[in-house]
Amino acid sequence: MKKIFFAIVLISCSISLLAQSAKRKTASKETAAKETAPVSDRKLWLQHLDKLARPVLSNLAAGTLREKMPVTLSPKVDNAANRAQVAYLEAFGRVLTGIAPWLNLEGGDAEEVALRNQYREWTLKGIANAVDTTSKDYMRFTGGQPLVDASFMALGLVRCPWLWEHLDAKAQQDVVRAFKATRTIVPGYSNWILFSGMIEAFFCKYGFEYDGVRLEYGIREFANHWYVGDGVYSDGMQYHWDYYNSYVIQPYMGNIFDALRTKNARAYDWYVPKFDQISKRYAVIQERLINTDGTFPVTGRSICYRGGAFHHLADMSLRKQLPQELKPAQVRGALTAVIKKTFEPATTFTATGWLNIGLYGNQPGLSEGYINTGSVYLCTTIFLPLGLPDTDPFWSAPAEPWTAVKVWTGQDMPADHAVEVR
């Protein structure tokens, strides 16, 4: 009997040990799976956006942006003293216009909600500091260049009503005063006329008296004189092969039209249908410019704005205006490739986390005389689709190859054709 008893105990112990071993193996496999599971595109975008925006917005909220932000100027700088002074508004205005749609969003997983809440807090404090004349980080709104970046700040507020609604009364008054100060700046005869228009669009959207002439002038010049065909405008009297249709022109026009619907819904009915055709065609062109590895043609000025070259494609995705031939998931794939290519080189950021001047790492030789540390934060605009919830097809649909991937892996697809706008 004793032998039978000990045999039963031995068998029971063996079974228990085997069960514990199986559990350890299962747990080990689960841990390994978690460690090796690919990061979703959305989480990857949020990681890059956080790395990019954190130094700017956390320091501005703390009143230490001027103290902490290094200001590197182009080797070909045209006016060093002036460029150094306006660099802070450049960094802030450009980060704000890119991060704004995400700040306006609600929901998401707990980690994303917590991150958004932190950025909302920083941004509200940052705006207040930027326009408070007693703040160490008070920003300059007169003198030329500030028109550009006040307009990017205005576009950010147009894209994010949540921010405007949660600013206290003093901060709102200070913002209005700062924007009105830019009316003394005469814009150049180029995309700059849209900078004046965007500030007036902000006034219109939020119920302030606005100058309709500044709006009308910008829209009519592009609509009646500067459209050159096949989805592209010239930037003033001469056409330049650069990315200014995306950096400024088409996103500004689309958002101005949207903002004006608040007060004057039919003001531009005479042109909006044509613009819809133009902007959709340009979105197709933009998607086709992105190569299989996320590179794109290095042509034209301001190439150091990195992914800002696709501001328009990101904006069309956010506003759910993509043409039928572009599926949101393929655009997500294309923009993700650009983000990885332009943000992941080791020399993209300084040792303290600020952007270097360049397209692929630290390349100051690519810059024009007006480029500085603040300027290059226009790359934040590539992150606009984060303003769409994670349930939107842009994020939830399975990955799809974009045009370059399809073609250069031998897939057949329809030919591309120019669009004639009538």
Go through the chain and tell me how many residues it has: 422
Quick: pLDDT tens for 236-246: 999 999 999 99
Q: What is the average pLDDT value for the chain, to the nearest integer?
A: 93
The answer to whether the Cα torsion of 77, 82, 87, 93 is positive or negative is negative
Instruction: Name which of 157, 168, 169, 250 is nearest 201 in CA terms.
Output: 157
Phi and psi at 239, nearest 5°, equal: -85, 140
> Does 179 score more than 60 pLDDT?
yes
Percent of all residues in the chain with a pLDDT value above 90, rounded to a whole number: 88
* One-letter amino acid of 157: L
Give the span between the Cα atoms of 67 and 63, in whole angstroms. Answer: 8
Strand partners, 349: 355
CA distance 130 to 181: 14
Long-range contacts of 222-231 (CB under 8 A, 24+ apart): 222/194, 222/249, 222/253, 223/271, 223/274, 223/275, 227/278, 227/421, 229/418, 229/420, 229/421, 230/281, 230/285, 230/418, 230/419, 230/420, 231/278, 231/279, 231/280, 231/281, 231/282, 231/284, 231/285, 231/419
Q: What one-letter code names the amino acid at 14?
A: S
pLDDT at residue 54 tops 80: yes
User: In CATH, which of 1.10.287, 2.60.40, 3.40.50, 1.50.10 is domain 52-408?
Assistant: 1.50.10
Query: How is the chain split into domains, by residue range?
Result: 52-408
Under DSSP, the state recorded for 38 is P
Please give the pLDDT value at position 422: 82
Q: What pLDDT was estimated at residue 362?
A: 98
- 23 against 46, higher pLDDT: 46
Q: Could you report the per-residue pLDDT of 161-176, keeping only the tens digit for each?
A: 999 999 999 999 999 9
Q: pLDDT for 323-339, tens place per residue?
A: 999 999 999 999 999 99
**Under a CB-based contact definition with an 8 Å cutoff, are residues 141 and 185 in contact?**
no
Categorize the per-residue pLDDT at 8 as very low, low, confident or very high, splitting at 50, 70 and 90.
very low
What pLDDT digit, counting tens, does each position of 362-408 carry?
999 999 999 999 999 999 999 999 999 999 999 999 999 999 999 99
Percent of the chain at pLDDT > 70 equals: 91
235 pLDDT band (50/70/90 cuts)?
Answer: very high
Whether 7 shows a pLDDT value over 50: the answer reads no
Residue 38, pLDDT score = 73
In 3D, which of 148, 406, 198, 402 has the Cα closest to residue 283?
Answer: 402
pLDDT band at 17; cut points 50, 70, 90: very low
- pLDDT greater than 50 at residue 6: no
The whole model's pTM is what?
0.91
Phi/psi at 395 (5° precision): -100, -35
Q: What is the pLDDT of residue 41?
A: 98
**Given a cut of 90, is residue 22 above it in pLDDT?**
no
Strand partners, 355: 349
- The mean pLDDT of 39-56, rounded to a whole number, is 97
